[in-house]
Amino acid sequence: MNWQTVCEGLSATDRYCASVEVSGVEYDSRRVRRGDVFVAMRGEATDGNRYLEAAIAKGASAVVTDSREAYERLRREHVDVGTALVERGRRALAEVSSAVMGHPERDIALCAVTGTNGKTTTAFLLEAMLRSVGRKCVLIGTIETHVGEEVRVSPHTTPESRDVLEIFADGVKAGATEAVMEMSSHALEQERVWGLPVDVAMFTNLTQDHLDYHGTMEKYFAAKARLFVGVGAPAPRVAVINGDDGFGRRLIGENRQSHLMRYGLETLSGDYRAEDVQLHAGETRFIFKTPNGDAPIRSSLTGRVNVYNLLAACCAALARGLRLDEIEAGAASGAQVPGRFEVVPSSHDLTVVVDYAHTDDALRNLISLARELVSERGGRVITLFGCGGDRDKTKRPRMGRAAGEGSDLVVLTSDNPRSEDPMMIIEEALVGVRETAVRCIVEQDRAAAIEIAIHAAKVGDIVLIAGKGHEKVQILRDGTVPFDDGAVAAGVLREIA
């Protein structure tokens, strides 16, 4: 593709349309190949403009920069390189990537889900429903990325726009017509999803998280709300919003452009509701009530929180044209979501569950579900958790309080401490635990803590290993090491057997 053609769709304040051909896009100079456009932008951690010369040395045919100084230097010293000056580097990255890759976002119907909790499960459920009627899908989320039948590792919940568009392009080549994405508040705020036309937008809930980045709940909510007005694209055609959530009700009140589908368990909160809810270990049943008919829903997912996730996915599936009977079949076909109330296989009567719960609200929901499951057999809830380092510190005592209020025994340990001292993090969480009367064991070493929690359990108890879920590493001050909660727990269970 000629650089001049790319420039036609670029919101640039100045440009030099050298007659060069471009074949790819990169924002990391280490990945640049001959013929690429290098988009240099100022980010949170570094400034891509520091690597212009390295990108050109590797063969970049054109450069987009958000620095006037860099742009003028390029015009003087590299007259054979196409150049463009932009105000917002991330927007330019999306525009250039879309043009060079042939606008794959136009050939795929996108459903996007945002919220504090439930994004991953809702995305997996919706993809399962779409696939159950023969539609090929792209899935982009926290745990993994799907391109048709191919499964890839997800380095981020929501990647940069260039990477999203490349996944979409691969999906279109594989015959995909649908895409389901988790959209994090960071990605919406930073405009990593700029220009993506969302057909169906879903909102699960909003509870305290990421205040280390957003600062206040109002700013956190404002970032999530951007999905429903469009980020460099029109507002979604359909907005699927949890009417039982306070912030969801605010979104409903502010909705002016999208067709609204309110869901919930409370009669006044949802036009799409769950009635006659039956919760059992390994099974959830309810009647999906809609303005145009009802459907019995059965899923292998467990707990009240998953009723909400199922409702969101059912509504989005309806919006994408599935019939009620197809949604019923699709919900029943949904597989276990890795690291979301994932029961560790065991040869004896000890129940050990790995879950990603890493906020006080998610931890409270998880413990409440476990309490329901053990109540009939008189068992106890043993909760192991930790708090992440270099993240919102204010939620640490809140998590401690949530764990202590619902559990019979708490094992407090390290999560991903990152650059912080693990024991300092534990001490901050311990403040909340001490506000309750629960017995608490502190063990910094997570593997040893898992062993302690499982050995403390008796038949009829549930051991909850919370915080890391699907993750396969632990991030420490000195680097990243392999660590899998499920694998460590399985090893302890084998030793006991």
Output the known binding site for meso-2,6-diaminopimelate: 391, 415-418, 467, 471
- Which residues are within 8 A (CB) of 2 and not within 5 positions of it... i.e. 6 or more apart? 19, 20, 21, 22
Instruction: Tell me the two tokens of residue 358.
Output: 């890493």
| Residue-by-residue DSSP string for 317-341 | HHHTT--HHHHHHHHHHPPPPTTSS
Structure tokens at 395: 């939620």
Torsion of CA 296, 301, 304, 306, to 10 degrees: -90
Alpha-carbon gap, residue 399 to 422, rounded angstroms: 16
Enclosing H/E stretch for 159: none
Choose among 455, 447, 458, 442: nearest CA to 487: 447
Tell me which H or E stretch contains 401.
Answer: helix 395-406
Residue 22, C-beta contacts closer than 8 angstroms, at least 6 positions apart: 1, 2, 3, 6, 35, 36, 37, 61, 62, 82, 100
Q: Which amino acids are annotated as binding site, given as ranges? A: 29, 115-121, 157-158, 184, 190, 192, 391, 415-418, 467, 471
Alpha carbon separation from 292 to 37, 66, 70 (Å, rounded): 50, 51, 59
Could you list the residues known to form a binding site for ATP, using ranges: 115-121
Could you tell me which of 295, 100, 144, 431 has the C-alpha nearest to residue 285? 295
- Reduce the DSSP state of residue 179 to 3 states and report it: strand
Residue 112: which of 155, 164, 171 has the closest Cα? 164
Instruction: Fill in the amino acid letter for 146.
Output: H
Taking CA atoms, 97 is separated from 5, 73, 92, 126, 165, in Å, by: 13, 24, 8, 27, 7
| DSSP class per residue in 280-318 | ETTEEEEEEEETTEEEEEEES--SHHHHHHHHHHHHHHH
Answer whether 236's CB lies under 8 Å from 201's CB: yes
Residue 64 tokens, joined = 């987009």
The label of the residue with tokens 């036009």 reads 271
Contact between 206 and 116 (Cβ < 8 Å): yes
Nearest-CA neighbor of 255 among 271, 268, 233, 236? 236
In 10 A of CB 394, how many CB atoms?
Answer: 10
